[in-house]
Structure 1
Amino acid sequence: MKTAILIPARYASTRYPGKPLAALRQADGTTKTLIQMTWEAATQVPGDHAIHVCTDDDRIREAAEGFGASVLMTSSVARNGTERCAEALAQIEADLVVNLQGDAPLTPPWFLTALIERMQQDSVAQVATPVLRCDRKTYDMFVEDRRAGRVGGTTAVFDRNLHGLYFSKEVIPYIAPGKVPDPIPVFHHVGVYAYRPAALQAYMTWPEGVLEAREGLEQLRFLENGTPLACVEVDARGRVFWELNNPEDIPRIEAVLGGA
């Protein structure tokens, strides 16, 4: 199966303009941009996979080419990473497309491997995405963000067959304060996707969904059009996982990197 790992990145983010070029301090005191760290995470995935940064912005293109990445230019009308990946698909040959969004430098390589293996083993699945059970620290960060009015990470609920039921920027399912059980029944949605080419092509024919627009979550377009998402539960193996959603996330990620 010919697999391409695409890293969609845009400069004109509403919540965090220029986010892919945000500099994060490393353990050795140097800095790297978010897009470089995400690209380096993609290179750690075992296997012979093509890796491309997909963007519409020359500043991101120049930065990516500067650290040796292949870049596919896409249009400025792409509203999310899935649409950007769908546009890039026309420029490559692939049996499977993995979308590693450009704001997730802490994504372990085995998360992507788990998606690729799921799609190789399940010929029916059209889209797959990882989910990670929250530990207490991650759950508290979710609650802290919502209390502060910040739109942070995404949570997921799914059925007993691991088919996604809903994804939200709210913390779901609801847990009453002071009654957090162990294990915590909240799953962090990891913003990585694996698609069959046909699923990407179909996505582009559908209008933006009502729930997708309300939540600002691209994956809901699949659910709103009856295409199930296979959720793949992954294990962080003791590593901290968090995306860079807001400027306030920089110190969180730098603390993990040892550069704080």
Structure 2
Amino acid sequence: MSRASSRIAIIIPARYGSTRFVGKPLAMITGRTMINRVWSLARAVSGVDEICIATDDERIAEHVRSFGGHVVITPKECTNGTERVLRAAEMLTKAPAVVVNLQGDAVLTPPWVIAALACEMRRDPTVEIATAAVRMDKRSCEALRTAKGHGEVGGTTVTFDRRGNALYFSKSVIPFVRTDGQDNDTDPLPVFRHIGLYAYGYETLRRYVSLEPGPLERSEKLEQLRALEHGIPIRVVEVDYSGRTHWAVDSPDDLRRVEAIIAEEGDLVAA
């Protein structure tokens, strides 16, 4: 059965009371709020039927309405962004066949990366979950290893089989490259950095949220391992940032870095 004409929704979870960064969705980045920027990225993705921001806070909801976005108020009891996305999907007027979970702080995610996941879900109706990854070169891989050696936990890598289905995700750099045989720092390695962006079949999302975390998820603190531990395959889509910089916003300090990147590379989409 083809998903070619199936309904696809992008749902953006946005929580006000983050322990690491209270009020993060409303933080200003070069004249616009974070949530407005992420919503603009979603709007630039072709082939999407609906875009919705899921929040438990009226301050965020009021702001979203002010720029014309569709917002759904989800229960404060949602334990994480994935559960919040499901609750929002259940409240939509028309149930989507595919749900794309675009994190509310993903301000530097190119629209073509988001579109690649939607395309994969439409292309192969057997895919239950899809996520994105970027191939690393020697220089970027060594930089990540160095950061890990200094105790940083950010940055997840993924290995996958010949069909593109994930074998494992880790906060360690995998696979271990015993010898790369390469002199050029920009030659690609068989190491892929995971991008925290997911597309789910609607029924798979419902099933996933109902599952208990396993020992691998609890050890690595990576939600996606729950799917693998319960036998749900995850399709890994290799994407190219086309020279754009990937950066996560986990703290107020990251805002300055993101603003510097935008100043250097320009906005991904117009306001």
Q: Same fold (TM over 0.5)?
A: yes
In structure 2, what is the Cα distance between the partners aligned to 1:245 and 1:85?
20
Amino acid at match of 1:60: I
The Cα offsets for residues 187-217 of structure 1, whole Å up to 9 and x where unpaired, read as: 1211111111110111122122332233332
The Cα offsets for residues 95-149 of structure 1, whole Å up to 9 and x where unpaired, read as: 1111111111111111121111111111111110111113566546634543443
Structure 2 spans left out of the alignment, 5+ residues: 1-5, 266-271
In structure 1, what is the Cα distance between the partners aligned to 2:102 and 2:20?
19
Structure 1 residues 177 and 258: alpha-carbon distance in aligned structure 2, compared to 1, 3 A threshold: farther
Amino acid at match of 1:233: E
What pairs with 1:247-258 in structure 2 (closer than 5 Å)?
Answer: 247-258=252-263
Structure 1 residues 200 and 237: alpha-carbon distance in aligned structure 2, compared to 1, 3 A threshold: same
**Which residue is equivalent to 1:207?**
212
1:32 aligns with 2:37: no
Residue 57 of structure 1 and its aligned partner are, at CA, apart by 1.8
Which segment is superposed worse, 62-71 or 239-248?
A: 239-248
In structure 2, what is the Cα distance between the partners aligned to 1:38 and 1:103?
7
Identity percentage over the alignment? 44
What pairs with 1:149-168 in structure 2 (closer than 5 Å)?
Answer: 149-168=151-170
Residue 235 of structure 1 and its aligned partner are, at CA, apart by 1.1
User: Secondary structure of the equivalent of 1:185?
Assistant: strand
Structure 1 residues 48 and 89: alpha-carbon distance in aligned structure 2, compared to 1, 3 A threshold: closer
Which segment is superposed worse, 39-48 or 240-249?
A: 240-249
In structure 1, what is the Cα distance between the partners aligned to 2:228 and 2:140?
26
TM-score (structure 1 length as normaliser): 0.87
Amino acid at match of 1:240: T
**Which residue is equivalent to 1:58?**
58
In structure 2, what is the Cα distance between the partners aligned to 1:192 and 1:221?
16
User: Secondary structure of the equivalent of 1:40?
Assistant: helix
What pairs with 1:122-137 in structure 2 (closer than 5 Å)?
Answer: 122-135=124-137
**Which residue is equivalent to 2:111?**
109
User: Secondary structure of the equivalent of 1:239?
Assistant: coil
Structure 1 spans left out of the alignment, 5+ residues: 26-30
CA contact (8 A) 2:10 2:48 kept: no
The Cα offsets for residues 163-210 of structure 1, whole Å up to 9 and x where unpaired, read as: 111222333334579998631332121111111111011112212233
- Provide the aligned length of Structure 1 versus Structure 2: 255
RMSD between aligned residues: 2.5
Amino acid at match of 1:216: K
TM-score (structure 2 length as normaliser): 0.84
Q: Which has the larger radius of gyration?
A: 2
Residue 18 of structure 1 and its aligned partner are, at CA, apart by 2.6
Residue 238 of structure 1 and its aligned partner are, at CA, apart by 1.7
CA contact (8 A) 1:80 1:218 kept: no
In structure 2, what is the Cα distance between the partners aligned to 1:206 and 1:252?
37
